[in-house]
Chain A
Amino acid sequence: MSTILRATGITKNYAIGKQQIPVLRGVDLSIKAGEKVALLGTSGAGKSTLLHLLGLLDAPTSGTIEYDGREVQSLPVGERARLRHQQVGFVFQFYHLIPELTALQNVLLARMMDTSVLQYWGKRKQAKASAVEMLQHVGLGERLHHRPTELSGGERQRVAIARALIAEPKIVLADEPTGNLDSATAKEVVDLMFTIQQERQLAFLLVTHDEGLATRCDRIIRMKDGYVVDQDLTSDEQAR
């Protein structure tokens, strides 16, 4: 399988006053197509910062990030935004749904991101059909026109997953996607994510504190104090 995402020597410092606080101190990692990778570590280890850098939401202080072999960390803002839209889907712990929009509209919004009014108008029916299909796929066919406040936590996260997948990204970056759910709902959501991942052969980078969840991935990357301290195949993967 080809490497979709490669990060080499990533460092990130934040300035607090005149002081530079290092958060990442030289991280190397790569993710292949169709691979599920768990990123484990304690709070403050730099997991979320690394996820934001890999998702091109922020620029590293040094190091390189490659998507499909192309260095992208220093591309212009607009170019990075387009790449993010085309390559990356995000799922967050707090869902980040837009409260004014229904479940369907939240998903459709992701399809509108790189189209003009006229372009979208031409393919609005097709876009709506694929959004409905995606929501049905995540089990929300009956909740299309409900707003986030009318949905449970698990349902909101399903909408967020549908939104992350609607633009057909190559990699999904999930930042503690079950951190705000009870264990039963969390299991349902994870099962759903992994099923879709298998169906679409998506690369998956999952930030989590949950060892149990991490062992369901193909590989675990452990972080501490801004360093990657361990990269192992999980026992499941080894057995396979």
Chain B
Amino acid sequence: MYRLFLAIRYLLTRPINLLGMGGIAIGVWALVVVVSLFSGFLQVIEDHVQASRSDIVATELPAWAEWPALRDALQHDPNVAGMAPRLLHYGLLVEPGKRPPPAPLPGRSAMHGGDQPFLFVFGVQADLEAKATKFDSWIRHPDIPEAMRVRDLTDPLAPIKNTPTVLLGIDRMRREGLKPGDSLRLMTANLKRDRDGRMTPIEIDVELIVGGAYQTNHGGFDGNNVFVDLATLQQAIFPDAPNQVQEIAIRVNDPTQLEATAGRLHREVQRTLEKEGRGYGSVQTWREKNSLFIKNVAHQRELLKIVLTVIMIVAAFLMLATLSMMVTEKTADIGILTAMGGTPSGVTMVFLSCGLVITGVGVVIGLTTGVVTAVYLEEIRQSWLWATGHDLFPLSVYNLTRVPCRIEPLWLLQVTGMAMVTGLIVSVLPALRAARHDPLISLRGV
């Protein structure tokens, strides 16, 4: 009993110990808030990416891959609910009479997610695409104003005045001041092998009319991808291969069987596209297809964890300093504690208890304030915005309606464990120093 009693009395009479406690609390608070924010952000990103993709995609298909053969091979899988063929190409969309925008700097192309003039052009069959993805809800998104909406939602890629249409992301349309009915030119090129076997670029120029806007909620997708009718793109880039397909979007019946289904379909694609003993093509889930992007955010979260853990380590050193100072001050008490029946291990426990109480209280304060802050992050953002005019987390950049937050109980446990272990380590050193102190020195000398 005397260990805990004395530890608490020592702590209560030394306000300097609040420094260590405050440091631990701030470290825990930061770890809870920032990681909850990033976990929420990661969740939102996954949701947005998933919403803009099909469940599964057959990709890396060779030039001789044909849609009918692959459709026949894959449609029998029990978990396949819908499939859509796609062609993918890249190019510039330019308003007639205007010069093409300058080329992007290296590393800032559309492929890297930047808002660049280069776009990915998806050639799709609207009816099949609607069965394989959420294409239908993209063009019916409630945030699209009526004036920018596709006129015929039942046939969104139908030509207007005999000219093929293109669907653009709503933000891109707004930024470039486009509206349905505006003319655009798709400028691109294709490589053709000449008689000598050399690849020669062939310029392609397609007249298009803006059919309307779409919105998936994934800003990176909407900003860099446009949709045209499959036949239009087919005729422009592969006029000699009317059945060629570069990608197949697939929707599944049971999302819990995603990986297993992808595995089966992969084997089926490889079998169908086997040539000279080698299988071609690849089938990936939406998560695998976007793993690099998702991992990037997850990686940033891990880096932040490391950075914030440093705050806790600094707080722990602060605690080490205050506890060491306390041991130095209290060596006089060690003699009398021993005389009253205390043991070296008991003396160790007195000072260890001090450290653990500091850590424990710091962790409780940090966890409580951290969870409350994380839960009310949006309200805090709005209050800050109202008070200072500065937006801590501009939601429009991320297509969010409120600051995301996901509190993970496992992470709270990990933070608690990490803080307690750190507190224990820095408490052990001064506690052992106290235990090694000769009580007779305290009793003899003053």
The judgment on whether A and B are partners is yes
A: which residues have CB within 8 A of B?
Answer: 48, 52, 55, 57-58, 77-78, 81-82, 84-86, 90, 92, 94, 96-98, 100-101, 105, 109-110, 112-117, 119-120, 163, 167, 175
The 9 A-B pairs with the shortest beta carbon distances in the complex, nearest first, are A85-B341, A120-B1, A96-B336, A112-B2, A112-B1, A113-B341, A90-B339, A100-B13, A81-B343
Q: Chain A contacts of B340 at CB under 8 A?
A: 84-85, 90, 109-110, 113, 163, 167
Closest CB of chain B to A56's CB: distance in Å? 10
A168 to B12, CA, bound (A): 30
B: which residues have CB within 8 A of A?
Answer: 1-2, 4-6, 9-10, 12-13, 332-333, 335-336, 338-346, 439-440, 442-444, 446
A140 to B332, CA, bound (A): 24
Q: Chain B contacts of A81 at CB under 8 A?
A: 338, 341-343, 346
A85 to B12, CA, bound (A): 27
A120 to B5, CA, bound (A): 11
Question: Is the beta-carbon distance between A109 and B2 smaller than 8 angstroms?
Answer: yes
Closest CB of chain B to A230's CB: distance in Å? 25
Question: Is the beta-carbon distance between B444 and A48 smaller than 8 angstroms?
Answer: yes
Question: Is the beta-carbon distance between B9 and A105 smaller than 8 angstroms?
Answer: yes
Question: Is the beta-carbon distance between A57 and B440 smaller than 8 angstroms?
Answer: yes
Q: Chain A contacts of B346 at CB under 8 A?
A: 81
Chain B, Cβ-Cβ closest to A58? B440
| Majority secondary structure, B binding face | helix
A73 to B39, CA, bound (A): 62
Closest CB of chain B to A207's CB: distance in Å? 12
Closest CB of chain A to B445's CB: distance in Å? 9
Chain A, Cβ-Cβ closest to B443? A92
A116-B336 contact in complex given A77-B344, A94-B446, C-beta closer than 8 Å: no
Closest CB of chain A to B325's CB: distance in Å? 15
Question: Is the beta-carbon distance between A57 and B9 smaller than 8 angstroms?
Answer: no
Q: Chain B contacts of A58 at CB under 8 A?
A: 440
Question: Is the beta-carbon distance between B440 and A112 smaller than 8 angstroms?
Answer: no
A114 to B13, CA, bound (A): 24
Q: Chain B contacts of A48 at CB under 8 A?
A: 444
A7 to B339, CA, bound (A): 19
Question: Is the beta-carbon distance between A109 and B343 smaller than 8 angstroms?
Answer: no
Most interface-central of A113, A114, A115, A117 (chain B CB within 10 A): A113
Complex A-B: 18 CB contacts under 8 Å: A52-B440, A78-B343, A81-B338, A81-B346, A82-B341, A84-B339, A84-B340, A84-B341, A90-B340, A92-B443, A94-B446, A96-B335, A96-B339, A96-B443, A100-B10, A100-B12, A113-B341, A117-B4
Q: Chain A contacts of B10 at CB under 8 A?
A: 100
A117 to B349, CA, bound (A): 13
